[in-house]
A and B are shown apart, each in its own frame.
Chain A
Amino acid sequence: MKPTSLYLPSTFEERGTAAPFTTPMFALSRVRPDERQGLVLLLPSFGGTDGAYVVPWSAVQEIGGMSTHDRALHEEILAVKATSPDMMRAAAFKVAMTGLAGPAAAEAAKKAVDEDRKKIEETHILLILALLTSSGMTTQELMQTNPETDEWRVKTKAMLEKAAKEYGIEIDQIYHRIGELSQTLAPVGLAISRQEARLRQLLQGLGEFRQSISEWGEADLSEMADFAIYAAAVADLTLDMAGTMFRKLDTGVQDIGLVVREWPTQGPLAKHLASRLSWLLDGWQFIIELWRSLADQPVDEQRDGVGNLMRVLPLIPRNESADDDEDAKKRQELFQRKRLQAHIDWRTGKYDVELVSRIEQIKAKAVA
């Protein structure tokens, strides 16, 4: 076992999935299953120290003045047991679409749901084309046919039947496997088809965040400078890990024919890698948007912002990184040396309509 920070989680699952609450105190708290409580909320420390409070799910609404959006999301998370980033995304969209986080967040959620659906359909088509190409068939004719027509479906079916025979499996199995794979790969994007997707695009935002906050940290004169540089280092490590995971996944699904043919081993592997990427990048979009929202703000608000994002920084769990524990050590040293002064307004349990409104705007942008 590696030497570790006392407070660093072991796995992504232990870190929990980020819940997009709009009440400042709960913003980006994390949810994870718990044997005794069913679910628990990991509430970032607001005492200026490292670590998080573990709150039983039933007690969450009692500890602070939650917005109605958060009360509804709290109930929805319990109802669907949203303990993974993908499930949380679906639960968050369902609640946001009610308008409880404002019309902009509702509109953004509707668009995102629509985009997600379109991306799955697009990935489905790309996977079929890749599979046929992998089986040595020419897809030129298919490419010139509208995928929403019966003509496309008939032609595709005929070609897939041919492929199924070659693989020694039923055509239904091919449809099923392609269907599952398109759900898995839609958020990631299919590199062989140069398809951009949500998580791959997030890396660009994360790279910009790393650069921007690192420059800010180098220029700032306050004690928040060290925290900013630390946040940049965590972003850097996340980018490194994401790069490795993307390469592995892209290599793994390079030959779609092989993945479909050897589904019992290749299918779970692709799902596992895509899921790890989803967990790794969980919570970053909000942080990137939070930092962007501070770009034109006075320096004291930017310093508060660094304090706020430090509380919810998605740290890499101990067992998920192949690196040594430099990251954990740095964090421990940092918190031992300096007490993090997060803005008092973000720590109070009192409902503050202005702060909630700011978080709602960030939330709307984070899914846009």
Chain B
Amino acid sequence: MSGLDKKGGIDNTVAAVLDLERPLEFISEEKFREVAKLLEAVHEQPGVQQILDHVRPRLVKLRPGRKPNLQRLFYMPLEDLLVGETASPDNGMLPRHLPALVWRYIAQTGDAEALKQLDVALKRTGTGDHEAHRKIAKRLWPLASAVLVDLVASPGHAKGMLGREVGLIEELNETAALLQAADAIDALKQELPPPPIRSLSDEQMGSIRRTIVDNAKGDADLVYVMALIVMVRMAKRADFLESIMGMTLGLSGADKPLVYARLSRLVMTEVTDRARQLSATDKGNLVGLADNARNLVTGLVAAEKALKNDPRARHQLSEMRKTAEKTVTQVVDNAKGTVVAAISVGPDAPLESLIETENSILALRKCQTFAGHIGLDKAVTGALGGIVGEVRDKANKLFASIGHKGGHQPDRAEVEQEMYWAVRMTELAGNPDDADKIRRQGMKALA
């Protein structure tokens, strides 16, 4: 097949994928695996990377048996940091197309014979033989690292290689450091639980420290990339940043704050994303607002602790704190208003209203878990206490009407319905013990 034919065939494959009647996310698993294999085979063609990025969540989930290649082995130390963005994220994460560009450069300028030998060795391994792949990767990384060290040593040369992507020069330097530390990164990944990591034991933290100290030998760039690789796997990154930077990592007094500042950019990005998520939440969705406000506030508290010595970060965090306070105040006011109106109607309200009332109380309860961090604990507790009090009053009047001699006796089924509604409201806004007291009191009154 001529090159032109081959290209035509590839174009047809891409066109066929793009023309699929149903989006790739929704085709059957069997078909998806087939399409994924085809795309993998032509992954260097224009447009294919975007398709792969688009279906990545499903690709990761179904993991079609992917044929190993040297490029994929080259990606191994970087894979935790890859993101779909095109511009510099400026926080240590790497746009996915950068390693592709770097790999092309390595393939063109690296030791062709050595790369060929590795390729032949790799082709002899089975698709699932990860141990054999790792062994070949460990031979590939030093080769790639040598090419990259030479490249970044000459900024003009490096910018020339990046061409239109010159804005990614810092990420290129980081990629070079990641390849230099590839063996240590691989060891760290082997030792750590899969992401997201909720917490690390003292022993695990000690082991991370030793790996960084032994392999970085005081090199700030290497310390940075190794700490970054662990931090990006953590569920609570700010907490990890604080712990790891409290340790001696073999850094000089001058380098330590610089590494800390570089790592903190990722923490700031995360908190900023959470603030953005909160701002984008539908204002009528009180539960969603409470969830996202909690997410932001917990992130803020951790970030403020970790970045207490960074005035610029402190200022940014303080602004975000104001946003959180404002949103939670609105949630409290709206929820209170909804519930107070609902109390006057009682259990006869339509189903949607009953659900909305419960969601309003749930939003308040969610806010209660973090309101203390933003000085709104009294407002939230007051709102919940007010609801419990009003419901209690209503229940007392109901029970009194049952025992009232001579007057109109309310319908038993209606009383039960009112009673259970009061129990439910009290449980949601208060606690099950107080709620159960109302239930028992009601049952006694009805007996």
Please give the residue numbers on chain A whose beta carbons come within 8 Å of chain B beta carbons, in ascending order: 65-68, 71-72, 98-100, 102-104, 107, 215-216, 218-222, 298-300, 351, 353-354, 357
- Given A65-B432, A68-B439, A222-B193, decide whether A103 and B354 contact each other with a Cβ distance below 8 A: yes
| Stretch of B56-64, B329-337, B386-394 with 4 or more beta carbons under 8 angstroms from chain A | B56-64
In the assembled complex, the CB of B230 is this many whole angstroms from the nearest CB of chain A, namely 16
Q: Which of B194, B235, B365, B420 contacts A98 (CB 8 A)?
A: B420
Complexed CA–CA distance, A281 and B60 (Å) = 32
| Stretch of B111-119, B145-153, B206-214, B422-430 with 4 or more beta carbons under 8 angstroms from chain A | B422-430
Check: B155 CB closer than 8 A to any chain A CB. no
Name the CB-closest residue of A to B353. A103
Apart from A68-B439, A72-B439, A354-B362, 14 more pairs, CB < 8 Å: A67-B432, A68-B436, A71-B439, A99-B417, A99-B421, A103-B351, A107-B351, A215-B61, A215-B62, A216-B61, A221-B194, A300-B235, A351-B431, A354-B365
Chain A residues lying within 8 Å of B362, measured Cβ to Cβ, are: 353-354, 357
Query: Cβ of A104 and Cβ of B355 under 8 Å apart?
Result: yes
Query: Cβ of A100 and Cβ of B432 under 8 Å apart?
Result: no
In the assembled complex, the CB of A348 is this many whole angstroms from the nearest CB of chain B, namely 14
Q: Which 7 pairs, one residue from A and one from B, show the smallest C-beta to C-beta distance?
A: A221-B194, A103-B354, A98-B420, A68-B435, A353-B365, A222-B194, A99-B420
In the assembled complex, the CB of B442 is this many whole angstroms from the nearest CB of chain A, namely 11
In the assembled complex, the CB of A223 is this many whole angstroms from the nearest CB of chain B, namely 8
In the assembled complex, the CB of A80 is this many whole angstroms from the nearest CB of chain B, namely 17
Complexed CA–CA distance, A354 and B433 (Å) = 17
Complexed CA–CA distance, A220 and B61 (Å) = 8
25 cross-chain CB contacts under 8 A: A66-B432, A68-B423, A68-B424, A68-B435, A71-B432, A72-B439, A99-B347, A100-B423, A100-B424, A102-B355, A102-B424, A103-B351, A104-B351, A215-B62, A216-B61, A219-B62, A298-B196, A299-B196, A300-B196, A300-B198, A351-B432, A353-B362, A354-B362, A357-B358, A357-B362
* Interface size range of chain B in the complex: 20 to 34
Query: Cβ of A353 and Cβ of B435 under 8 Å apart?
Result: no
Name the CB-closest residue of A to B428. A353
Encode contact with A along B403-444: 1 for CB under 8 Å, 0 otherwise: 000000000000011001101100110011101100100000
Query: Cβ of B416 and Cβ of A98 under 8 Å apart?
Result: yes
Name the CB-closest residue of A to B193. A222
In the assembled complex, the CB of A108 is this many whole angstroms from the nearest CB of chain B, namely 11
Chain A residues lying within 8 Å of B237, measured Cβ to Cβ, are: none
- Given A215-B61, A219-B61, decide whether A102 and B366 contact each other with a Cβ distance below 8 A: no
Please give the residue numbers on chain B whose beta carbons come within 8 Å of chain A beta carbons, in ascending order: 29, 60-63, 193-194, 196, 198, 235, 347, 351, 354-355, 358, 362, 365-366, 416-417, 420-421, 423-424, 427-428, 431-433, 435-436, 439
Chain A residues lying within 8 Å of B366, measured Cβ to Cβ, are: 354
Complexed CA–CA distance, A220 and B431 (Å) = 38
Complexed CA–CA distance, A102 and B193 (Å) = 38
Decide if the interface of chain A is mainly helix, strand, loop or mixed: helix
Chain B residues lying within 8 Å of A103, measured Cβ to Cβ, are: 351, 354-355, 358
Query: Cβ of B194 and Cβ of A68 under 8 Å apart?
Result: no
Query: Cβ of A68 and Cβ of B432 under 8 Å apart?
Result: yes
Complexed CA–CA distance, A298 and B423 (Å) = 34
Query: Cβ of B436 and Cβ of A71 under 8 Å apart?
Result: yes
Complexed CA–CA distance, A71 and B433 (Å) = 10
In the assembled complex, the CB of B274 is this many whole angstroms from the nearest CB of chain A, namely 14
Complexed CA–CA distance, A300 and B61 (Å) = 14
Query: Cβ of B60 and Cβ of A219 under 8 Å apart?
Result: yes
Complexed CA–CA distance, A65 and B431 (Å) = 9
Chain A residues lying within 8 Å of B193, measured Cβ to Cβ, are: 222
Name the CB-closest residue of A to B235. A300
Name the CB-closest residue of B to A102. B358
Name the CB-closest residue of B to A221. B194
Name the CB-closest residue of A to B358. A102
Complexed CA–CA distance, A71 and B440 (Å) = 11
Name the CB-closest residue of B to A303. B194
In the assembled complex, the CB of B28 is this many whole angstroms from the nearest CB of chain A, namely 12
Chain A residues lying within 8 Å of B435, measured Cβ to Cβ, are: 68
Complexed CA–CA distance, A351 and B428 (Å) = 11
Complexed CA–CA distance, A72 and B423 (Å) = 11
Chain A residues lying within 8 Å of B427, measured Cβ to Cβ, are: 67-68, 100, 353
In the assembled complex, the CB of A95 is this many whole angstroms from the nearest CB of chain B, namely 10
Chain A residues lying within 8 Å of B432, measured Cβ to Cβ, are: 65-68, 71, 351
Name the CB-closest residue of A to B349. A103
Name the CB-closest residue of A to B431. A351
Chain A residues lying within 8 Å of B29, measured Cβ to Cβ, are: 215
Complexed CA–CA distance, A98 and B413 (Å) = 10
Query: Cβ of A219 and Cβ of B421 under 8 Å apart?
Result: no
In the assembled complex, the CB of B94 is this many whole angstroms from the nearest CB of chain A, namely 21
Complexed CA–CA distance, A100 and B235 (Å) = 35
Name the CB-closest residue of A to B426. A68
Complexed CA–CA distance, A219 and B428 (Å) = 38
Chain A residues lying within 8 Å of B355, measured Cβ to Cβ, are: 102-104
Name the CB-closest residue of B to A95. B420
Name the CB-closest residue of A to B417. A99
In the assembled complex, the CB of B100 is this many whole angstroms from the nearest CB of chain A, namely 24
Name the CB-closest residue of B to A222. B194
In the assembled complex, the CB of A209 is this many whole angstroms from the nearest CB of chain B, namely 16
Complexed CA–CA distance, A194 and B435 (Å) = 47
Complexed CA–CA distance, A191 and B354 (Å) = 40
Chain B residues lying within 8 Å of A222, measured Cβ to Cβ, are: 193-194
Name the CB-closest residue of A to B435. A68
Complexed CA–CA distance, A131 and B352 (Å) = 45
Chain B residues lying within 8 Å of A68, measured Cβ to Cβ, are: 423-424, 427, 432, 435-436, 439
Chain A residues lying within 8 Å of B63, measured Cβ to Cβ, are: 218-219
In the assembled complex, the CB of A214 is this many whole angstroms from the nearest CB of chain B, namely 12
Residue from A98, A103, A215 having most chain B Cβ neighbours under 10 A: A103
Chain B residues lying within 8 Å of A354, measured Cβ to Cβ, are: 362, 365-366
In the assembled complex, the CB of B381 is this many whole angstroms from the nearest CB of chain A, namely 14
Chain A residues lying within 8 Å of B417, measured Cβ to Cβ, are: 99
Residue from B366, B420, B433, B439 having most chain A Cβ neighbours under 10 A: B420
Complexed CA–CA distance, A48 and B402 (Å) = 50
Chain A residues lying within 8 Å of B420, measured Cβ to Cβ, are: 98-100
Residue from A99, A216, A219, A220 having most chain B Cβ neighbours under 10 A: A99
